[in-house]
Amino acid sequence: MEHGMRWDIFCQVIDNYGDAGVCWRLARELSARGHSVRLWIDDPAPLHWLGGLP
Protein backbone atom coordinates (compact mmCIF):
# COMPACT_ATOMS: atom_id res chain seq x y z
CA MET A 1 0.00 0.00 0.00
CA GLU A 2 1.36 3.41 -0.96
CA HIS A 3 1.19 6.18 1.63
CA GLY A 4 0.96 9.89 0.88
CA MET A 5 3.70 12.33 1.72
CA ARG A 6 3.69 14.89 4.52
CA TRP A 7 3.56 18.50 3.38
CA ASP A 8 4.09 21.76 5.28
CA ILE A 9 2.93 24.78 3.30
CA PHE A 10 4.03 28.19 4.55
CA CYS A 11 1.96 31.15 3.40
CA GLN A 12 2.62 34.83 3.98
CA VAL A 13 -0.32 37.04 3.09
CA ILE A 14 1.24 40.02 1.32
CA ASP A 15 -1.39 42.23 -0.25
CA ASN A 16 -4.66 40.38 -0.78
CA TYR A 17 -6.58 37.19 -0.15
CA GLY A 18 -5.24 35.65 -3.37
CA ASP A 19 -2.10 34.56 -1.50
CA ALA A 20 -4.13 32.61 1.04
CA GLY A 21 -6.48 31.28 -1.64
CA VAL A 22 -3.67 29.70 -3.66
CA CYS A 23 -2.18 28.07 -0.57
CA TRP A 24 -5.60 26.87 0.62
CA ARG A 25 -6.44 25.29 -2.75
CA LEU A 26 -3.02 23.61 -2.92
CA ALA A 27 -3.45 22.19 0.59
CA ARG A 28 -6.95 20.91 -0.23
CA GLU A 29 -5.80 19.28 -3.48
CA LEU A 30 -2.86 17.53 -1.81
CA SER A 31 -5.12 16.34 1.00
CA ALA A 32 -7.68 15.02 -1.49
CA ARG A 33 -4.89 12.97 -3.08
CA GLY A 34 -4.14 11.27 0.25
CA HIS A 35 -1.28 13.42 1.50
CA SER A 36 -0.95 14.80 5.02
CA VAL A 37 -0.89 18.61 4.88
CA ARG A 38 -0.26 21.38 7.40
CA LEU A 39 -0.93 24.93 6.28
CA TRP A 40 1.03 27.60 8.16
CA ILE A 41 -0.33 31.08 7.53
CA ASP A 42 0.65 34.38 9.12
CA ASP A 43 -2.86 35.88 8.87
CA PRO A 44 -5.73 33.38 9.27
CA ALA A 45 -8.47 35.99 8.57
CA PRO A 46 -8.62 35.16 4.83
CA LEU A 47 -9.38 31.52 5.66
CA HIS A 48 -12.58 32.61 7.40
CA TRP A 49 -13.48 34.60 4.31
CA LEU A 50 -12.70 31.62 2.04
CA GLY A 51 -14.84 29.32 4.17
CA GLY A 52 -11.91 27.25 5.40
CA LEU A 53 -12.43 27.94 9.10
CA PRO A 54 -15.61 28.09 11.17
Written as one string, the DSSP assignment of 1-31 is: ---PPEEEEEE---SSTHHHHHHHHHHHHHH
Q: Residue 3: how many CB atoms within 10 A of its CB?
A: 8
Query: What's the whole-model pTM score?
Result: 0.76
**Per-run averaged pLDDT (10 residues), the chain, 54 residues:** 83 82 92 95 80 61
pLDDT score for 2: 59
Whether residue 29 contacts residue 35, with contact meaning beta carbons closer than 8 Å, is answered with no
Residue 12 to residue 32: CA distance in whole angstroms: 23
pLDDT score for 1: 39
39's enclosing H/E stretch is strand 36-41
